[in-house]
Structure 1
Amino acid sequence: MELPGIIEGGKHSDDRGNLFFNRNFDASEIKRIYFIENKDIHFVRGWTGHKIEQRWFTASHGSFIIKLVTLEDFEKSKKEPQIFEFELNSKKLDIIHIPKGYATAIQSKETDSKLLVMADYRLGEINDDYRYPLDYFENL
């Protein structure tokens, strides 16, 4: 199974202002984009998983904690899964690639944070949405 990871971006500043970039991100698979804006910094949106669809997240404003768990390993073994944790912030254009087979839990670290989500399937193109209670993976 492919592991999630950060595609590192960067920032250039000069007398004209700032330029945020990501030279290693290939957007050719993207078919849909949307923003997530949690209601406050205490709310955790999750767990939502996809066995077919892959996604890419980047913070367009503020910062986020993103937790990931692999659905395949959990379903096969029924033992406590490994939870990956990433932090994204809008200070540079880092992108988390979430391969198929993972569920996510998303928490804003700052008020008014916005997360750009990119997906490789259009809405309604496939039936691939798996939802679990927030404590489902952590309290087995």
Structure 2
Amino acid sequence: MKPKIIQGGNFEDHRGTISYVNDFSFKDIERFYIISNCETNPIRAWQGHKLDAKNFYCISGSFKIHFVKIDNWENPSKDLTIETITASVTDSKIIHIPAGYANAIESLEKDSKLISFSTLPLSQVSEDDIRYDSNYWNVNG
């Protein structure tokens, strides 16, 4: 499976705005959390998941979601291709990163918030969470 965008939309009238992603299914979701990077360290990197799929939705500001397909969990190549998808509060889309990838979350604005829907129960996270040095892959080139 490859990363993908699940596009939603926005509806606005005199009462306000409703943002939605009707094609997203919560069927396999076990938990969620909200990410808010600090202003002095806008990149949270690199976290890999052998089993857990991540689904990111921007609820404030904007982010770049960087990801790489891991070739070797113990010693991944430093030459892996970094792919990036931008998300903003106005986009109303979910970025699905399947198991087998490592990701880095970069906030682009102060007070940006991203919700992450995860498919792995919290009881199994310690078996799946693989962290790499924050500079293992350079998101800036």
State whether residues 64 and 85 of structure 2, in contact with CA within 8 Å, keep that contact through their aligned partners in structure 1.
Answer: yes
SS at match of 1:30: coil
Alpha-carbon distance change, 58 to 89 in structure 1, aligned in 2, over 3 angstroms: same
**Identity level (%):** 36
Letter aligned with residue 129 of structure 2: D
* Matches of 2:6 and 2:132, distance apart in 1: 27
Contact in 2 for aligned 1:9/1:20 (Cα 8 Å) = yes
- The residue aligned with 2:34 is 35
Which whole-Å CA distance do the structure 1 matches of 2:69 and 2:134 have between them?
15
CA 1:93–1:19 in 2, change beyond 3 Å: closer, same or farther? same
Matches within 5 A, 1:1-140: 2-40=1-39, 42-72=41-71, 78=77, 80-126=79-125, 127-138=127-138
What letter is aligned with 1:129? Answer: D
Q: Secondary structure at the match of 1:124?
A: helix
Instruction: Decide whether aligned partners of structure 1 residues 77 and 68 sit closer, same or farther in structure 2, where only a CA change above 3 A counts.
Output: closer
TM-score by length of 2: 0.89
TM-score computed with the length of structure 1 as normaliser = 0.89
Q: 1:41 to 1:19 in 2, by over 3 A?
A: farther
Report how many residues are paired: 138
User: Displacement, 1:21?
Assistant: 0.8
- 1:27, CA displacement in angstroms? 1.1
CA contact (8 A) 1:74 1:81 kept: no
| CA distance in structure 1 between the partners assigned to 2:60 and 2:112 by the alignment | 5
> Structure 2: where are the runs of 5+ without partners?
none
Structure 1 alignment gaps of length 5 or more: none
Find runs of 4+ consecutive structure 1 residues off by over 2 angstroms: 72-79
Contact 1:38–1:45, Cα closer than 8 Å, also in 2: yes
Q: Which moved more, 1:69-78 or 1:91-100?
A: 69-78
Letter matched to residue 136 of structure 1: Y
